[in-house]
Amino acid sequence: MNFIKTAGIISLALIFIVPFLSFAGNTKDIYVNAKAGSKQDGSATYPYDTIKEALKKAEKSSKKVEIHVSNGVYKENIEIPSKTKIFGEDKDKTIIKADDNEPAVKMNHKTEINKITVEGGSYGVVIDDEDRASIVKCVIKDNDKDGVKIKAASIEDKYAASISESEIYDNGRSGIYSEKRRLAIMDSFIHNNEGDGIDIAAGSSAWIAGNKVKENEKSGIKLTLDGSNIWTKNNTFYNNDREGLEVNAYGGAGRIDVNKSKFYKNDRYGIVKVNRGNLNASVWNGFTIQADTIYWENKLGNIAEK
């Protein structure tokens, strides 16, 4: 691995592994408990019984806000205002269940959800354009379309989107769908979605590491080379109904690196390179697969070009 490539990986890792949001200092705490009594002011003693009520109070605050949600099922669709974090008590028992056919959770700038289950929406979570947001230790399941939809934004770090230590499954389209964006997907389990496990648009800048991507009805991960700068490491792709990894190229230069990953028992190829047009072979110089990548029992072969 040459110096430039190593520097690129280290730079991306530093950007994405350092926590996105710093809430040190002036922070307001608000509490929610589905079993709250009639007296409610958002304090630990008298919590609100809905997350929406806590968010109304957060919107009025001049401080950064942390909302602490006790276990329970909260039948509501929420939009998180800027500079607000939501912490669940237990990711499997603190549940936001959409109350109508809209996204269950919409995230704005400098927001985070942590240890929450999100289910039953048109989308599970939507991260809006030009907004920096983080999903940590969450379960996102049983939504009609994508589990997480990330809208287009500049690839500047200030608009980065992050998903880490989460489980995303049984959604009606992709587990994660991202338009052009800076993003990180780390240490997550993405499985049994009706589309691709992960689908990232052309021109994105991404760090994808430590994920297990299994039994999705299309490819484990779908990327586009053109204009992209994507580094992947320590991922496992197995038992997907199409490819483990599908990389599309339309003729523009880009960079995608596959490092220290495993591809096995996918129903088509481990990795497929798809030419979207009559392209010069040099286009693929930006796509590298390191020697430490492992394959076995992919039904049509390990690597193919179409």
Per-residue pLDDT reduced to its tens digit, 18-31? 444 444 458 899 99
Percent residues over pLDDT 90 in the chain: 86
Segment 191-198 shows an average pLDDT of: 98
Per-residue pLDDT reduced to its tens digit, 10-21? 455 554 444 444
Written as six digits, the tokens of 128 are 């809006």
Q: What is the three-class DSSP state of 168?
A: strand
121: left (phi over 0), alpha (psi -120 to 50) or beta: beta
**Closest to 84 in 3D by CA, of 41, 29, 129:** 29
User: Is 253 within 8 Å of 278 (Cβ atoms)?
Assistant: no
Segment 271-294 shows an average pLDDT of: 93
User: Is 74 within 8 Å of 51 (Cβ atoms)?
Assistant: yes
Mean pLDDT score across all residues of the chain: 92
Per-residue pLDDT reduced to its tens digit, 198-217? 999 999 999 999 999 999 99
Point out the least confidently predicted range of 18-27, 58-67, 126-135, 268-277.
18-27
Predicted TM-score (pTM) of the model is 0.91
Q: What's residue 25's pLDDT?
A: 56
pLDDT surpassing 90 at residue 114: yes
User: Is 178 within 8 Å of 201 (Cβ atoms)?
Assistant: yes
CB-based contacts of 281: which residues, under 8 Å, 6+ apart? none
Written as six digits, the tokens of 96 are 């936001």
Q: What's residue 22's pLDDT?
A: 45
Per-residue pLDDT reduced to its tens digit, 118-167? 999 999 999 999 889 999 999 999 999 999 999 999 999 999 999 999 99
Distances (CA, A) of 204 to 45, 142, 148, 287: 45, 27, 16, 14
Segment 84-113 shows an average pLDDT of: 97
Q: What's residue 21's pLDDT?
A: 43
Q: What's residue 136's pLDDT?
A: 98
pLDDT surpassing 50 at residue 181: yes
**Domain extent at residue 104:** 3-305
Segment 257-286 shows an average pLDDT of: 94
- Beta bridge partners, 213, equal 190, 237
Point out the least confidently predicted range of 3-7, 195-199, 288-292.
3-7
Segment 76-89 shows an average pLDDT of: 97
Regarding beta strands 148-150 and 176-178, do their DSSP bridges make them parallel or antiparallel, or are they unpaired?
Answer: parallel
Q: How many Cα atoms within 13 Å fall on the side-chain side of residue 188?
A: 26
CATH assignment at residue 57: 2.160.20
Per the structure, the count of domains in the chain is: 1
Under the banding of pLDDT at 50, 70 and 90, the label for residue 3 is very low
Q: What's residue 229's pLDDT?
A: 97
Percent residues over pLDDT 70 in the chain: 92
